[in-house]
Each structure stands twice: as C-alpha cells, then as structure tokens.
Amino acid sequence: MVIRRGPFVCDVTELDPFTEGAMYYVAGLLAVLSGLLYAASGHELGSYSSTVCSYGGPFCDHPSYVFVGAILAAAWGSFVSIK
C-alpha cells in the first residue's frame, strides 16, 4: 500500500499568538531583519542591496527602527511571561 502525501502546507490556524515564548521568536526575527537592513544600507550585500532597499526604503535608511522593535518585542515577551 502506497500513501501519497500532498505538498507541505503550513497551517497556522492552530497556533496561539499568545503562547509563552512566541514573542522571543518575533524579537529574534526582527533582530535578524535589522542586521540585514543594516548590511543592505552599507551596500555590503552586493547586487541584493538595491533590491532589499527598494522594498524597505525607510527601514534601510534607519535600521535602528527595526532593532528598537526587536527590543520592544523581547521586553513584551518577558513582561507577558512573568507569573
């Protein structure tokens, strides 16, 4: 008997955004995005720098905005997880 599986589908309807630790993932993602935008603003990504900056123009000029968002997300995650 052969079981055929369909394509992978990411079903996020079961995820609760208020689960403990979820904001730490958001904070980490924003920190990585901040580093990517910082590198793109210094044209350190080669030909990808102009593409990244065309999609995130204001954030490419000031990547600290995204980093502040990462700090706030981490602070919120620690505030929510206090019992």
The secondary structure of 18-52, three-state, reads: CCCCHHHHHHHHHHHHHHHHHHHHCCCCCCHHHHH
Q: What is the mean pLDDT of the chain?
A: 79
Q: Is the pLDDT of residue 31 over 90?
A: yes
Report the C-alpha gap between 30 and 13 in whole angstroms: 22
Report the C-alpha gap between 10 and 78 in whole angstroms: 27
> CA triplet 30, 31, 34: central angle to 5 degrees?
85
CA 72 to centroid of chain Cα atoms: 13
Neighbours of 62 (CB within 10 A): 13
Summarised one tens digit per residue, pLDDT across range 44-71 is 888 888 888 888 788 888 889 999 999 9
Q: What are the boundaries of each domain within the chain?
A: 22-80
Average pLDDT over residues 19-46: 86
pLDDT of residue 16: 62
pTM for the predicted model, two decimal places: 0.69
